[in-house]
């Protein structure tokens, strides 16, 4: 690939996935003048890399061979690491989604992943400029659910996905449990 003069401004994406084919799909699908990917097959390797290098985004399989995705997310938060995370998995029960959201994770993609879905999730998580929706999700990633809830409430756009996130962030800001109905809606909106 011929390097662009803008290559120095590439976003660094760490891919933590035990599946060789998915690591290659993500690498081929995302590497560009805008993004450079760095694959890791094990959670421990990913955590070590996060301790040594700055990344703009982590694409994290929830079911790794050595650690669970939640173990990695918890360790990242314990370290004060606010790197954006997209959770990727063939199986994402609502309980795991809610646990991830309570740790500031707001981006999920289900396997099998297609390139359109992958690029859309990356663009949503790493926009060039933060629009109001992205700003709200950034607040949620920082666990500022009250601010995220207020910001989403001020957005006039209506969609079922935004409505679900409004409910989730509002409930989390009030310390409420998420109802099973809302959890089912989240599961449908996030994974389909």
156-164 LR contacts (CB < 8 Å, sep 24+): 157/133, 160/185, 160/189, 161/189, 161/190, 162/133, 164/189
Q: Are both 113 and 168 inside the same structural domain?
A: no
Domain boundary among 126, 148, 183: 126
Q: Are both 72 and 158 inside the same structural domain?
A: no
CATH number at residue 61: 3.40.50.2300
Residue-wise pLDDT tens for the chain (192 aa)? 333 333 335 788 999 999 999 999 999 889 887 788 999 999 999 999 999 988 889 999 988 999 999 999 999 999 988 888 999 988 878 888 888 888 888 888 889 988 888 888 898 887 555 567 767 877 887 788 888 888 888 877 777 777 888 888 888 888 766 555 444 445 444 443
Domain boundary among 75, 99, 126: 126
Domain assignment of residue 153, given as a range: 130-192
Q: Are both 109 and 24 inside the same structural domain?
A: yes
Q: Are both 2 and 56 inside the same structural domain?
A: yes
The whole-angstrom separation of Cα 7 and Cα 32 is 8
Task: Read off the pTM.
Answer: 0.68
Q: Are both 95 and 12 inside the same structural domain?
A: yes
């Amino acid at each position: 690939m011929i390097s662009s003069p803008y290559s120095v401004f590439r976003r660094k994406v760490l891919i933590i996935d035990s599946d060789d084919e998915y690591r290659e799909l993500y690498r081929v699908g995302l590497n560009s003048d805008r993004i450079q990917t760095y694959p890791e097959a094990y959670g421990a390797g990913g955590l070590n890399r996060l301790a040594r290098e700055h990344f703009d985004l982590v694409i994290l399989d929830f079911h790794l061979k050595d650690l669970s995705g939640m173990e990695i997310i918890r360790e990242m938060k314990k370290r004060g690491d606010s790197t954006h995370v997209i959770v990727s998995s063939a199986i994402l029960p609502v309980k795991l989604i809610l646990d991830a959201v309570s740790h500031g994770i707001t981006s999920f993609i289900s396997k099998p992943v297609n390139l359109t879905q992958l690029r859309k999730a990356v663009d949503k998580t790493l926009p060039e400029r933060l629009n109001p929706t992205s700003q709200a999700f950034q607040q949620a990633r920082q666990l500022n659910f009250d601010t995220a809830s207020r910001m989403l409430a001020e957005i006039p756009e209506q969609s079922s996905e935004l409505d679900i996130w409004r409910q989730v962030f509002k409930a989390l800001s009030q310390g409420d449990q998420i109802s099973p109905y809302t959890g089912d809606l989240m599961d449908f909106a996030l994974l389909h």
